């Protein structure tokens, strides 16, 4: 049941996103579109409540409960930036908005961008870690929480990978090749 609910939440996320943006840009009802987009967090609340009820009713904590916590964490950490990313593209394509801003490619500007991305992933992973820890405490010492602890290790790995990626851009920034210039052509000589 939990896996089905996670899939339904993911589908509903994209349906609400599409509906909110369609109302905002195609129907020219920005307030109604914003209201629909504000319903997105309700999906995570429903998933959290159903997962807690499932555990309360004696379900053995397994990978599905861990996945629910991770899904909620990633929605908290990455959901807003995903909505902003899609919104910018829809506004450009359908409402005459400016072209979306591309991330910088070189130097410390790219490093700063990578640290912002790492921060979002870290928020996602820390949220999942906290929810997993709450689930471990909720189950108590009598239940087997090893699956939930395995998910916590995975979230620490996610944080580590993102810090390594951002750190690599900081320590080894890619140099801007500068403007590409046409090679000088050799003058033609007549024989």
Q: Name the least confident of 4-18, 94-108, 132-146.
A: 132-146
One DSSP character per residue, 81-94 reads HHHHHHHHHHHHHH
Q: Which residues contact 186 (CB under 8 A, 6 or more apart)?
A: none
CA-closest candidate to residue 133, choices 41, 79, 69, 74: 69
- Scanning the structure block, which residue is given the tokens 């010492």? 141
Position 58 scores a pLDDT of 82
Higher-pLDDT residue of 168, 143: 168
Q: What pLDDT does 107 receive?
A: 94
- Averaged pLDDT for residues 157-184: 87
- Whether the CB-CB separation of 147 and 66 falls below 8 Å is answered with yes
- Residue 109 is predicted with a pLDDT of 95
**H helices present in 22-106, as ranges:** 30-37, 40-56, 63-95
Q: What is the pLDDT of residue 20?
A: 94
User: pLDDT per residue over 126-155, tens digit each?
Assistant: 999 999 999 989 887 777 788 999 999 999
Q: Tokens at residue 43, please?
A: 């999906």
CA nearest to 125, candidates 163, 93, 88:
163
The pLDDT of residue 14 is above 70: yes
pLDDT at 176 over 90: no
Residue 191 vs residue 175, higher pLDDT: 175
Judged against a pLDDT cut of 80, whether residue 3 lies above it is answered with yes
What CA–CA distance (Å, rounded) separates 147 from 162?
23
Structure tokens at 28: 């020219």
Cβ pair 92, 100 in contact under 8 A: yes
Model confidence at 78, pLDDT cuts 50, 70, 90, reads very high
pLDDT at 144: 79
Predicted confidence at residue 46, as pLDDT, reads: 92
pLDDT at 139: 82
* pTM attached to this predicted model: 0.84
Which residues, 6+ apart, have CB-to-CB distance to 10 below 8 Å? 71
């Amino acid at each position: 049941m939990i896996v089905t609910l996670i899939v339904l939440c993911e589908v509903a996320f994209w349906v609400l996103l599409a509906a909110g943006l369609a109302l905002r840009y195609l129907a020219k009802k920005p307030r109604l579109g914003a209201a629909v987009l504000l319903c997105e967090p309700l999906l995570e609340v429903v998933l959290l409540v159903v997962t807690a009820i499932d555990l309360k009713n004696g379900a053995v904590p397994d990978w599905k409960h861990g996945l629910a916590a991770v899904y909620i964490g990633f929605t908290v950490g990455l959901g807003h930036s995903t909505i902003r990313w899609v919104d910018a593209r829809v506004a450009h394509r359908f409402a005459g908005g400016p072209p979306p801003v591309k991330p910088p490619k070189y130097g410390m500007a790219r490093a700063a961008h990578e640290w912002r991305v790492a921060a979002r992933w870290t928020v996602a992973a820390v949220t999942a870690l906290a929810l997993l820890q709450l689930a471990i405490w909720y189950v108590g010492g009598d239940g087997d929480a090893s699956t939930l602890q395995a998910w916590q290790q995975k979230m620490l790995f996610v944080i580590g990978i993102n810090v390594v990626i951002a750190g690599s851009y900081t320590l080894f920034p890619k140099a801007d090749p500068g403007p590409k210039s046409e090679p000088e052509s050799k003058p033609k000589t007549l024989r």
